[in-house]
Chains A and B, each alone.
Chain A
Amino acid sequence: MERRFRCTGCGKCCQGRLPLSVPDALAHADRFPLFVLWAPVRPGGRSYDLTRQLGVTLDLKKKKQAALRVAILSYVPSGMKCPALQDDGLCAVHDAKPLRCRAMPLSGARAEDDQDDLLLPRAGWECDVGEDAPVVYRDKTVVARGDYEAEREQLIKDAAILRPFATMMLQAAPQIRMDVEKMASRPMGGHVITDTAHLIQHLAGVDAFHFAAKQLPVMEAFAARTAGVAELAKEHKRYADSAAHWRRVLGG
């Protein structure tokens, strides 16, 4: 089985949430509203073992387990365009494009034999999957390997920071543990989102005040953009709370 794919750069997939590597998140902290995603993955899926390796293993009731993916997210409401997407449809950070975007449509966060569904363009996307597009995936093996492997390598590096962070938070913050476990045992799944206030303490060498100064205007802009929209009330609160936190850090 072969899958062909060429990105035409239509920008249609540049919306909603975007998981970022730690260096990408820090490099673009002045642009993306950053939060932390906690996404449990149940056993059985092809990417289960990989998720355990990159994240942490949760012990659930009745001796069950789940893998927990922990990632930094550019948290943009579904359907709202990426803050780096320009009006001309081009990416404003093209030369420093996040690894996640470079690896599209493949995902380094998923097992190599678990990429099939990613290669089917979603409705409205203008990806070229025709005869002329190059073969990127054959018999469950990635053919165009560069960006896929680069993303995977970075995820492995990030795990050295995110795993101890997640372990500490699960121990110290029972709300997170309870909510994550609840999501892990729900048949329809779900995930949990927290702010980056605690994560920053695990990023040795990152200046928390510079980070705050970058995130504050981004959070304020997203709070303004989501203000008064009933369906986005939850998102709005998230941005406003985060802005308030960084404002306090900056002594405002």
Chain B
Amino acid sequence: MAANPCPCNSGKTFEDCCAPLLGGQARAQTAEALMRARFTAHVREDFDFVAATHAAAEKDSYNKSAAEAQAKTLTWTRLEILETEAGGPDDAAGTVTFAAHFTQNGQSMVHREKSEFVREDGEWVYVDGEINPRSAPVRVDKVGRNDPCPCGSGKKYKKCCGA
């Protein structure tokens, strides 16, 4: 294992892998390289890099403070690249399917996503992703029949949910 392994698990050192991308000294040659760098940016909480590598159309909807807030509640542990389609030095678009492992509240979890990348002005940028089942952990509470139903008759209470 390298002395200062890159958080993206490439097996290289950080300096030889994602650091030049995060530092702006180099550009990602492939969609996978950008994917790795964006993961590393999450690990290092460099959300300006994450924001800057969104496609122009998506930039406005990125909530950097929410990403920073989320980072306080979890620890990214490992990235696995599962599959890539196109996204090479000569391509204009590509997808990267990955599993990003993290721990939250002492539990190990995985975020699986198939991300779409395109080139804008020659640079790879992230468009969006299809998130696979069994990733985002959510606390769910089911509310059964004994609770007043907000959607059916609405008869049990007031400002209920209508519908």
Contact = CB atoms under 8 A, between A and B. Distances in A.
Interface residues of A, number: 71
B135 A179 contact: no
B161 A194 contact: no
Interface string A183-199: 10010111111110110
A204 interface: yes
B154 A117 contact: yes
A100 interface: yes
Contact of B149 (A190, A192, A202, A209): A190
A202 B135 CA distance: 17
Contact of B136 (A51, A100, A191, A198): A198
A162 to B, nearest CB: 13
A212 B73 CA distance: 12
Nearest to A188: B145
Nearest to B145: A188
A115 B71 CA distance: 45
A194 B143 CA distance: 11
Interface stretch (B11-19, B27-35, B60-68): B60-68
Contacts of B151: 39-41, 51, 69, 189, 191
B145 A16 contact: no
Interface string A155-198: 00000000000001101111110010011001011111111011
Interface stretch (A103-111, A129-137, A138-146, A219-227): A103-111
A220 B112 CA distance: 33
Interface residues on B, range: 35 or more
Contact of A251 (B72, B139, B145, B154): B72
A184 B46 CA distance: 42
B44 interface: no
A19 B66 contact: no
A17 B149 CA distance: 11
Given A104-B159, A249-B72, A17 B63 contact: no
Contacts of A95: none
Interface in B36-86: 60-63, 65-70, 72-73
B121 interface: no
A245 interface: yes
Interface string A215-252: 00000000000000000001000100100010011110
B136 A172 contact: yes
B65 A207 contact: yes
A23 B133 CA distance: 30
A171 B130 contact: yes
Contacts of B158: 13, 15-16, 104, 122, 125
B26 interface: no
Interface string B114-140: 000000000000000011111111111
B150 A37 contact: yes
B163 A69 contact: yes
A234 B153 CA distance: 24
A109 B161 CA distance: 8
Contact of B73 (A41, A73, A238, A249): A249
Contacts of B89: none
B133 A200 contact: no
B139 to A, nearest CB: 6
A158 to B, nearest CB: 13
A175 B68 CA distance: 25
A192 B141 contact: yes
A92 interface: no
A82 to B, nearest CB: 9
Interface of A: 13, 15-19, 37, 39-41, 45, 47, 50-51, 67, 69, 71, 73, 78, 100-101, 104, 107-110, 117-118, 122, 125, 168-169, 171-176, 179, 182-183, 186, 188-195, 197-198, 200-209, 212, 234, 238, 241, 245, 248-251
19 contacts: A16-B159, A17-B159, A19-B150, A19-B159, A19-B161, A19-B162, A39-B163, A45-B163, A107-B162, A110-B162, A171-B131, A190-B142, A192-B143, A194-B138, A194-B140, A195-B139, A208-B63, A238-B139, A249-B69
